[in-house]
């Protein structure tokens, strides 16, 4: 029986880790305590899951001293991951960290250094690696169907419900999330790295924000009190979201930390991009063009992988999972998955599969779905390099900030 504690009792921490640990994994895992800077939210979660029996902390160090856990689960906002990962490793624990592993090169370096020095292990949870559709793509890539990869086109579209939601809260402030290039694209960059079985070397990026932020005068502090609620197409009623659970987890805890869950999408505090375009050069020679759009009329991911044997095209438009391979004999082989039903559970069944792996453990991992700090660093590495590229108006090598840990990485030519 392993002993776990969790820091960050927001939506993900509560419903993707704490609740399943209590309800589904009690035979092999004990959730000994939870912690959050917002004590009210942590107390609500303990009440909700255990009638208050799970001890609640706002002092992380005290929680570690009192419970001496085997594993710390980190599900705070992104920029706070590093401080807890480092403390947990120093204390002698292993760590399960939500993506992104962290948000800056300095914090990434501290995690890599501490993991190496302490010998304890950090697992970064990339749940998309467990989604059936991406598992199928990985199997096809590993089968050699495409052959050596020459180039990749990767587009991710978030609609004005899902995409907008990142602009309502802490994610929309770069200091919290590192921007969508870290917070969201870490999923996509990890998928690309994993599918290609390759690592990024060099990045060039552009980004703009022209849809959210201070682009209209009809705005308020938040939807709840907005004078334009009757006319704004983005108005949400916080009390009606997720069967009233946003009221409990967020609205009724606001007085402790001022975290407003329905902040105006047109606020002038927003400082991240809503459209980005990134070029990546890979170590084995492939080049990737990637774009993220956070204001699309529909949700979709489209990836094209051009290889020496042909072209693999996959997309998820309108909830259909399509995979086609064009070989060099003029044929199209259809790996159509539009008949395959999404599995039950969060993120198309990916979350339950990930949790089984985390809490019960699999003997082998033939598709390499469990991600370590190297994978965590390589995925945020593209986002960090992209942020630097935009800020400094130049192409950026990942070796500039990861080279001390991975000396084999390609360096800029003198
Ligand atoms: N893999 C996925 O599909 C997925 C989905 C959602 C969120 N996430 C990740 O999970 C994490 C949490 O996201 P969320 O949607 O639950 O956000 P949330 O806003 O619901 O919760 C964040 C929690 O962190 C707490 N917090 C903030 N700063 C803290 C600090 N310094 N110390 C302790 N607690 C702190 C907040 O009080 C809040 O309870 C993020 O890292 C996010 O990237 C992953």
Ligand 1 lined by 10 (C-beta under 6 Å): yes
The two three-digit tokens of residue 248, written as one number: 């409990």
* Per-residue DSSP letter, 13: I
Ligand 1 lined by 172 (C-beta under 6 Å): no
SS3 content of the chain, % helix, strand, coil (to 5): 40, 25, 40
Contact between 71 and 96 under an 8 Å Cβ cutoff? The reply is yes
CA of 113 to the centre of ligand 1 (A): 24
Ligand 1 lined by 347 (C-beta under 6 Å): yes
In which order are the strands placed within the sheet that holds 275-282?
A: 332-334, 322-327, 310-315, 300-307, 149-159, 287-296, 275-282, 200-208, 396-397
Question: In this predicted structure, what is the pLDDT of residue 363?
Answer: 67
Q: Closest Cα to residue 98, out of 82, 113, 109?
A: 82
Phi, psi of 148 (to 5 degrees): -55, 135
Question: In this predicted structure, what is the pLDDT of residue 344?
Answer: 73
CA distance 146 to 294: 30
Residue nearest to atom 41 of ligand 1 (CA): 78
CA distance 262 to 65: 36
Residue nearest to atom 7 of ligand 1 (CA): 12
Q: Closest Cα to residue 172, out of 235, 97, 79, 101?
A: 79
Q: What is the pLDDT along the chain (414 residues), one digit of tens a residue?
A: 999 999 999 999 999 999 999 999 999 999 999 999 999 999 999 999 999 999 999 999 999 999 999 999 999 999 999 999 999 999 999 999 999 999 999 999 999 999 999 999 999 999 999 999 999 999 999 999 999 999 999 999 999 999 999 999 999 999 999 999 999 999 999 999 999 999 999 999 999 999 999 999 999 999 999 999 999 999 999 999 999 999 999 999 999 999 999 999 999 999 999 999 999 999 999 999 999 999 999 999 999 999 999 999 999 998 888 999 999 999 999 987 766 666 677 888 899 999 999 999 876 899 999 999 999 999 999 999 999 999 999 999 999 999 999 999 999 987
Give me the helices (H) in 277-412, please.
Answer: 350-359, 373-392, 399-402
Q: Closest Cα to residue 355, out of 153, 183, 98, 168?
A: 98
Ligand 1 lined by 98 (C-beta under 6 Å): yes
Count other C-beta atoms under 10 Å from residue 173's C-beta.
Answer: 16
Question: In this predicted structure, what is the pLDDT of residue 154?
Answer: 98
Question: In this predicted structure, what is the pLDDT of residue 338?
Answer: 62
Pocket test for ligand 1, best of 5, 6, 7, 8 (most atoms within 8 A of CB): 8
CA distance 95 to 76: 13
Quick check: helix, strand or coil at residue 255? helix
Residue nearest to atom 2 of ligand 1 (CA): 127
Ligand 1 lined by 405 (C-beta under 6 Å): no
The single residue listed with the structure tokens 């467990």 is: 130
**Structural domains in the chain?**
2-127 (3.40.50.720), 128-212+271-402 (3.30.360.10)
CA of 147 to the centre of ligand 1 (A): 39
The two three-digit tokens of residue 110, written as one number: 């501290």
CA of 105 to the centre of ligand 1 (A): 20
Residue 170 CA, closest ligand 1 atom number: 19
Q: Residue 144 belongs to what H/E stretch?
A: none
In which order are the strands placed within the sheet that holds 71-74?
A: 56-57, 29-35, 2-7, 71-74, 94-98, 122-125
Report pTM.
Answer: 0.97
* Per-residue DSSP letter, 14: I
* Per-residue DSSP letter, 341: P
Question: In this predicted structure, what is the pLDDT of residue 289?
Answer: 98
Q: Residue 108 belongs to what H/E stretch?
A: helix 105-118
CA of 159 to the centre of ligand 1 (A): 21
Q: Closest Cα to residue 187, out of 359, 383, 374?
A: 383
Ligand 1 lined by 41 (C-beta under 6 Å): yes
CA of 74 to the centre of ligand 1 (A): 8
């Amino acid at each position: 029986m392993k002993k776990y504690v969790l820091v960050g009792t927001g939506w993900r921490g509560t419903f993707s880790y704490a609740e399943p640990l209590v309800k589904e994994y009690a035979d092999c895992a004990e959730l000994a305590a939870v912690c959050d800077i917002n004590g009210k939210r942590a107390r609500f979660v303990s009440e909700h899951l255990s009638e208050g029996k799970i001890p609640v902390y706002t002092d992380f160090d005290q929680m570690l001293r009192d419970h001496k856990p085997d594993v710390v689960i980190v599900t705070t906002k992104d920029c706070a991951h590093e401080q807890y990962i480092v403390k947990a490793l120093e204390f002698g624990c292993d760590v399960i960290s939500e993506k992104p592993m962290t948000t800056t090169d300095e914090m990434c370096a501290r995690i890599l250094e501490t993991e190496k020095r302490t010998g304890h292990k950090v697992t970064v949870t990339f749940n998309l690696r467990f989604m059936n559709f991406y598992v199928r793509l990985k199997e096809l890539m590993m089968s050699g169907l495409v052959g050596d990869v020459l180039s990749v086109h990767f587009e991710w579209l978030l609609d004005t419900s899902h995409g907008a939601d990142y602009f309502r809260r802490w994610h929309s402030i770069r200091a919290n999330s590192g921007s969508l290039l870290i917070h969201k694209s870490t999923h996509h960059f990890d998928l690309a790295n994993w599918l290609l079985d390759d690592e990024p070397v060099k990045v060039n990026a552009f980004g703009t924000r022209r849809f959210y932020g201070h682009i209209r005068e009809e705005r308020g502090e938040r939807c709840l009190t907005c004078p334009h609620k009757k006319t704004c197409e983005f108005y949400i009623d916080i009390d009606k979201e997720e069967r009233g659970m946003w009221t409990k987890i967020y609205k009724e805890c606001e007085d402790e930390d001022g975290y407003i869950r329905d902040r105006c999408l047109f606020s002038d505090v927003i400082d991240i991009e809503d459209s980005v375009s990134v070029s990546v050069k890979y170590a084995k020679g492939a080049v990737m063009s990637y774009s993220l759009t956070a204001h699309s009329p529909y949700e979709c991911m489209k990836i094209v992988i051009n290889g020496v044997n042909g072209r693999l095209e996959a997309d998820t438009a309108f909830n259909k999972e399509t995979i086609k391979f064009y070989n060099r004999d003029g044929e199209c082989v259809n790996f159509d998955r539009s008949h395959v039903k999404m599995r039950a559970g969060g993120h198309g069944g990916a979350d339950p599969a990930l949790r089984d792996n985390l809490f019960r453990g699999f003997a082998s991992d033939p598709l390499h779905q469990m991600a370590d700090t190297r994978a965590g660093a390589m995925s945020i590495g593209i986002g960090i390099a992209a942020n630097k590229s935009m800020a400094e108006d130049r192409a950026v090598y990942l070796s500039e900030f990861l080279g001390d840990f991975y000396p084999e990485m390609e360096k800029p030519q003198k």
